[in-house]
Structure 1
Amino acid sequence: MENLSANNLYSFYGKSPVLQGVSFDLKPGEFLSVLGRNGVGKTTLLKSIMGLTDSCKGDLQFGGSDLLKCSTPQRALQGIGYIPQGREIIPRFTVRENILMGTFARADGKREIPDYLFDMFPILRDFISRKGGDLSGGQQQQLAIARALAMDPKILMLDEPTEGIQPNIVKQIEDAIIQLNRERGLGIILVEQNVPFARAASDRFLVLDKGRVVLGGTSAELTDAVVEEHLTF
């Protein structure tokens, strides 16, 4: 199984460094929450791991591969799944077509939808022929997660997956993320503002501020004092 590790990682938009000297390790099957106020570099960290910023320097390794030398499609083929803010499903494609898109990043070339996705999100089976753009925001988020899982990832990165989602679906999504980690052994990197969920779900956490890691620890160390100092607005 593969570790994901960053060491002294800098990431740039143009010539401006957004991440500055970030280091962390994600062991196989581990759940890491990335926390911080708005605009501190959390989304940029996920984009940097996927190769979606202008440039990076430092060291970023996954399973012995130097990710900084890999294209975004190559990183996906190695088993890194990414669900961005805004979900980015294709509105004119059906639910089936959206999910099948994920299979094109499978290393084994299989083009089939895993059955467990419909056990996890039954509404997607019910709406399998419906256009993605006709789903509610929460249903689109379920679809985005299913699409990423269809690529059979080893790591799943989620950027605020419950933001703007109707409350009745939030718990379903949170439960699915925990299930993927604890029952299927999927490594998770979660950017999240919901501290109680991060505390309950994750093994470890990082706090970013101004593009740097200012604190990290186990979920038990994510105390109210830490939240008050680093995460309240």
Structure 2
Amino acid sequence: MLEAKNLYSYYGKSPVLQDISFLLEKGQLLTVLGRNGVGKTTLMRSFMGLTDRLDGSLTIEGTEIARMRTPDRAMLGIGYIPQGRHIIPRLTVRENIIMGTYARRDGKRGMPDLVFELFPILRDFLDRRGGDLSGGQQQQLAIARALAMDPKILILDEPTEGIQPNIVKQIHDIIVRLNRELGLTVILVEQNVPFAREVSDRFLVIDKGRVVIAGAGADLTDDIAERYLTF
């Protein structure tokens, strides 16, 4: 589904990521872990073509995308929920969701029923500005906007950061459902090690811009967490 080979990603002339390689198969969930500032967000941005330069190979279903423009990657079915959500605060909930449909391959502009099945509260707030929602509701809106594009791969960069605990569990449950019940391929940056261990098919630990450990989710031990995730 998604394969990286010897990937280097740059801001300016400096490589932030170096020699990243992995294979993610269709329907799998990959968790990316590491301390703050080691390159996790840069990796997510690299998938979308949002860094200054990308060397190496990055393919989705066999199509090389390393030098594709960001809109073209989205049209291939990559849905991205960045850290901090980045909803458009002056647009309504309805308008934010409709924005996601412009990356659909079938041209449909309606709001999918799945969005309201997963996030029923958004139906009540359709005409409310996105900036007036709580942090947890904005995160739900950001996920809904990505789902509106009917993605093949969903990328979530720390989707529960700074969110109240009851919404954290809801978002975790929805991620699991999207992956296990609906078969959506998921890449997740996550600091909750027990959750990552439970739900991941594969995991990567990044340190200083390189993959230092990778394996099956069940192999994400407390020793690994102590060595590479604690401060």
Query: Normalising by the residue count of structure 2, what TM-score does the alignment of the two structures yield?
Result: 0.99
1:163 and 2:161 correspond: yes
- Name the residue aligned to 2:28: 30
Moved more, 122-131 or 48-57: 122-131
Tell me the distance in 1 between the aligned counterparts of 2:123 and 2:80.
Answer: 22
2:79, 2:146 within 8 Å by CA — same for their partners in 1? yes
**1:111-169: CA deviations, max 9, x gaps?**
01110111111110111111101100000000000000000000000000000001111
Could you tell me which of 52, 73, 76 is aligned with 1:75?
Answer: 73
Tell me the distance in 2 between the aligned counterparts of 1:147 and 1:168.
Answer: 21
Tell me the distance in 2 between the aligned counterparts of 1:106 and 1:87.
Answer: 20
- Name the residue aligned to 1:197: 195
> What is the deviation of 1:229?
1.2
| Equivalent position SS for 2:15 | strand
Tell me the distance in 2 between the aligned counterparts of 1:209 and 1:170.
Answer: 26
1:5 and 2:3 correspond: yes
Tell me the distance in 2 between the aligned counterparts of 1:174 and 1:41.
Answer: 23
Moved more, 220-229 or 96-105: 220-229
Query: Normalising by the residue count of structure 1, what TM-score does the alignment of the two structures yield?
Result: 0.98
Tell me the distance in 1 between the aligned counterparts of 2:27 and 2:111.
Answer: 22
The one-letter code of the counterpart of 2:9 is S
2:48, 2:73 within 8 Å by CA — same for their partners in 1? yes
Tell me the distance in 2 between the aligned counterparts of 1:141 and 1:6.
Answer: 28
Could you tell me which of 121, 137, 161 is aligned with 1:139?
Answer: 137
| Equivalent position SS for 1:70 | coil
| Equivalent position SS for 1:58 | strand
Could you tell me which of 98, 107, 110 is aligned with 1:109?
Answer: 107
Any residues of structure 2 matched to 1:147-186 within 5 Å, and which? 147-186=145-184
| Equivalent position SS for 2:151 | coil
Tell me the distance in 2 between the aligned counterparts of 1:89 and 1:145.
Answer: 10
Tell me the distance in 1 between the aligned counterparts of 2:230 and 2:67.
Answer: 37
The one-letter code of the counterpart of 1:133 is G
> What is the deviation of 1:194?
1.1
2:31, 2:204 within 8 Å by CA — same for their partners in 1? yes
1:42 and 2:19 correspond: no
> What is the deviation of 1:69?
2.5
**1:52-110: CA deviations, max 9, x gaps?**
00001011111121101210000000000100011010111111110000000001110
- Name the residue aligned to 2:220: 222
- Name the residue aligned to 2:206: 208
Identity, % of aligned pairs? 71
Tell me the distance in 1 between the aligned counterparts of 2:200 and 2:126.
Answer: 32
- Name the residue aligned to 1:60: 58
RMSD over aligned Cα, in angstroms?
0.7
Tell me the distance in 2 between the aligned counterparts of 1:96 and 1:5.
Answer: 34
Tell me the distance in 2 between the aligned counterparts of 1:124 and 1:197.
Answer: 26
Moved more, 55-64 or 138-147: 55-64
| Equivalent position SS for 1:68 | coil
Tell me the distance in 2 between the aligned counterparts of 1:119 and 1:61.
Answer: 32
- Runs of 4 or more, structure 1, over 3 Å off, are none
2:54, 2:67 within 8 Å by CA — same for their partners in 1? no
Tell me the distance in 1 between the aligned counterparts of 2:169 and 2:28.
Answer: 21
